[in-house]
Amino acid sequence: MSTDCETGASCSSCASAGTCSAAQRSLLKEANEFSKVTNVIAVMSGKGGVGKSSVSALLASHLNKAGYQVGLLDADITGPSIPRMFGITEKLRTNVTGMLPSESANGIKVMSINLLLPNEDDPVVWRGPVIGGVIEQFWTDVIWGELDYLVVDLPPGTGDAPLTVMQSLPLKGLVVVTSPQELAVMVVKKAIKMAEMMDKPILGLFENMAYLECPHCEEQIYLFGQGKAQEMAEEYDLPFLGSLPIRPEIAELCDNGRIEEYESELFANAVKLISAQLT
């Protein structure tokens, strides 16, 4: 039972068990003694297939371009993709004080389960508690050093992995990603409501795959219909970070491990909006 719980009831019998602020404080894990991370932010979607990992990679890259020291924690344990996007192939290194993250070409520190697997396409067939334990280790046992920002790429859904990150890491806020489909919007609203339940601020909302720009006439073609992400942002009083077009070059850069080469004014502006909220 938490000593500052207003109800005086035990956590096991409380209707808010696991989500109240007292319980969240008690579950926070200490970072590695050689880590000094100023801001931890997570990228969340609730819905799979909306490009959350590419948004995480581009957000980390543009924070780096803005002059910040940046780390990227791949918390999508069963579907990791971050190392491939950054062209990282080396396996995990350790020393007596902990695990050492790999570094991208531009100096972004990266930790992912794929850095521990013999082959990048080996499956991870683990139950939720084991996945949660590994995510915690990526915070407690990894020597992140001095970082201005640690971006956490969350898996889809509102289950064990996102819950572990929200309870165990000192999150400063979340960035939410959706796509134009009504189905995606409905599921993403679940993620927004989870953040509210966990008392975690949302720093902004991206709409990904919003349109395709014709290479000949620059007309915007709405393959999935015109999205309502901006309306959803207004509904929940969230900063709208912008609508991201479908760009084949992003997929090509991700496939070839060169995502850091992509330049985006939209992401540069999003970085300014996010960092302004955390200063």
- Cα–Cα distance for residue pair 10/233, rounded to 1 Å: 37
- The CATH code of domain 29-278 reads 3.40.50.300
pLDDT at 22 over 90: no
The pLDDT value given to residue 59: 98
- Residue 3 binned pLDDT confidence (cut-offs 50, 70, 90): very low
Contacts of 191 (CB under 8 A, 6+ apart): 44, 45, 46, 47, 158, 162, 176
- Cα–Cα distance for residue pair 181/179, rounded to 1 Å: 6
- 128-140 helix and 160-168 helix, angle to the nearest 10 degrees: 30
Residues in the chain: 279
Burial class of 113 by CB neighbour count within 10 A (0 to 12, 13 to 18, 19+): buried
**Residues 57, 174, 78, CA angle at the centre, nearest 5°?**
55
pLDDT digits (tens, 9 = 90+) for 45-102: 988 889 999 999 999 999 999 999 999 999 999 999 999 999 999 888 999 999 999 9
- Residue 25 binned pLDDT confidence (cut-offs 50, 70, 90): low
Mean pLDDT of 219-237: 89
- 52-65 helix and 265-278 helix, angle to the nearest 10 degrees: 80
Mean pLDDT of 224-244: 91
Report the mean per-residue pLDDT for the chain. 90
- Pure H helices in the chain: 21-27, 52-65, 82-85, 128-140, 160-168, 182-197, 229-235, 248-255, 265-278
Give the HSE-up count for residue 50: Cα atoms under 13 Å, Cβ half-sphere. Answer: 35
The pLDDT value given to residue 190: 93
- Cα–Cα distance for residue pair 115/78, rounded to 1 Å: 13
Q: Domain map of the chain by residue range? A: 29-278
pLDDT digits (tens, 9 = 90+) for 250-261: 999 999 999 999
Contacts of 175 (CB under 8 A, 6+ apart): 41, 42, 43, 44, 55, 59, 202, 203, 204, 205, 206, 241, 274
Q: How many helices (H) and strands (E) does the chain have?
A: 9, 12
pLDDT at 23 over 70: no
Chain-centroid distance of CA 230 in Å reads: 20
pLDDT digits (tens, 9 = 90+) for 89-132: 988 899 999 999 999 999 999 999 999 999 999 999 999 999 99
pTM of the predicted protein model: 0.89
- Residue 144 binned pLDDT confidence (cut-offs 50, 70, 90): very high
- Cα–Cα distance for residue pair 78/80, rounded to 1 Å: 6
Instruction: Copy the structure tokens of residue 215.
Output: 């290479």
The pLDDT value given to residue 263: 95
Pairing mode of beta strands 212-213, 220-221: antiparallel
